[in-house]
Amino acid sequence: MRQDYRENLKLALDTLRAHKLRSALTIVGVVIGVTIMIVVAGLLSGFNTTVTETITGFGADTAFISKEEQGFHTGRRSEEERKRKELTLEQGQALLEGAPDIKAVAISIFPESASITARYKDAHVNLNSNDFRGTFPAFAEVYANANLKEGRFISDGDNEHKRDVAVIGENIAKALFPNVDPIGKLINAGGHEFEVIGEFELPKGGFGNMGNEDRRVVIPYYTFRKLYPNPSSFYHGYRIEAYPKRLDAAVDEARSVLRRVRKVPYDAPDSFSIQTSQQAIEGFYSVVGAVALATLVLSSIGLLIGGVGVMNIMLVSVTERTREIGVRKAIGARRGDITWQFLFEAMTLTGMGGIIGILFGWVVVLLVGGALDWRAVVPIWAVVVGFGVSVAIGLIFGVWPALKAARLDPVVALRYE
């Protein structure tokens, strides 16, 4: 007798409808496992796109130099790292003079204070220390995402005369000047007044301090030094731009120059950190990989629990339907027919759990993405994998109950009460 898959699917759905509560309780583990998989895949996928766009938005041929090691950290920094001397303006200028493959250097200076408030009348925005900086005109050349929406950038004259002017990010402009053109207005940042001379265009992406490029307030370097004359109240950071396809050579030259001007012994490690955009992305991927592995373990536990539950309920179903199995065998059903009937029932059960998990996960991704202002979209591959794994769980854990049903003796089964 030819196997009728459509009939087996209909029988499976009829059985699920007849035992709604039992079926729902059975697939809870599958729903949880698939939901976790979808949520993490959706958030990490959007997170990955956002961070990659943010990092590469700084420029493909650029690298950032700081005193401390960069990237994602857990725990306290080493004693050696904490004792490193600060970078200085002179060291940044030495890079451009001593490294022929470096096209430009953006030297920025930041306040040590953790939080700064920007105000205009009754409106205010809280900034991190990385959002408020003093810099040179080269900043607009080195940072690929420093495009202006309106106004102008800081000039050499602004720097030389220590003018109290500022260029602000688009989100700052929206918060402080929702219905007013910000150009020419006076804002208060860190307790000092600045005239707004330009507004940055909103860059792509955004995550953490890296993504707050739309929340920055940039002032002339020497204006910053005028306002913060105490060296212990600020620190420096450099972003270098190499000539096209010369970034590796530029990084090597920058390392050599900095070791020389900072008087680092030949057998000692660097007393600074240089990180390219590609290295930042690779560091991010290592963190994402660890999160994905932890997620795989958690979702596997949920799916395993769901699989065991499905196997138990299918064994109970075989016992309850022993007489039905005997009748089917008596009218000509073969072992393969009985086996596929119960396998279809198990796969339909877990497949429904997979669909519910996908829907739950999708809703959670949209809610979390909206709440955190992240780009969060569930990738198609996650939906396919989630549904495929849920069906596979039913197939794997349904084999034993299906074989047990197929091996029943029809005479004994017909006698069963």
Q: How far apart are CA 97 and CA 253, in angstroms?
A: 11
> Rounded to whole angstroms, how far apart are CA atoms 9 and 2?
15
Q: How many CB atoms lie within 10 A of CB 341?
A: 25
In tens, the pLDDT along 48-94 reads 776 666 666 666 788 999 988 876 555 577 777 778 889 999 999 99
Q: What is the pLDDT of residue 185?
A: 93
| Residue closest to 251 by CA, chosen among 284, 259, 221 | 259
pLDDT by 10s per residue, the chain, length 417:
444 556 656 665 666 666 666 667 777 888 888 888 888 888 877 777 766 666 666 667 889 999 888 765 555 777 777 788 899 999 999 998 889 999 999 999 998 876 788 999 888 888 887 889 999 999 988 887 788 989 999 999 999 999 999 999 988 999 999 888 999 999 999 889 999 999 998 765 444 444 445 788 999 999 999 998 887 788 999 999 999 889 889 999 999 999 999 999 988 888 899 988 777 777 777 777 777 788 778 788 878 888 888 888 777 777 766 777 667 667 766 777 777 777 888 888 888 888 999 999 999 888 887 776 667 778 888 899 989 998 898 888 888 887 877 776 665 555 555
CB 337 within 8 A of CB 328: yes
Kindly state the helix (H) or strand (E) to which residue 81 belongs, with its residue range.
Answer: helix 79-82
Which residue, among 341, 317, 322, has the nearest Cα to 410 in the 3D structure?
Answer: 322
* Selection from 223, 130, 216, 123 nearest residue 169 by Cα: 216
pLDDT given at position 210: 42
Buried b (16+ CB within 10 A) or exposed e, 227-265: bbeeeeebbbbbbbbbeeeebeebbebbbebbbebbebe
Taking alpha carbons only, the member of 236, 137, 134 closest to residue 190 is 134
How many whole angstroms separate alpha carbon 63 and alpha carbon 179? 37
Q: What pTM was computed for the model?
A: 0.65
Q: Cβ distance 270 to 259 under 8 Å?
A: yes
184: left (phi over 0), alpha (psi -120 to 50) or beta: left
| Whole-Å CA distances, 269 to 84, 256, 259, 346, 384 | 11, 12, 9, 60, 48
Q: What span, in angstroms and rounded, lies between the C-alpha atoms of 225 and 231? A: 9
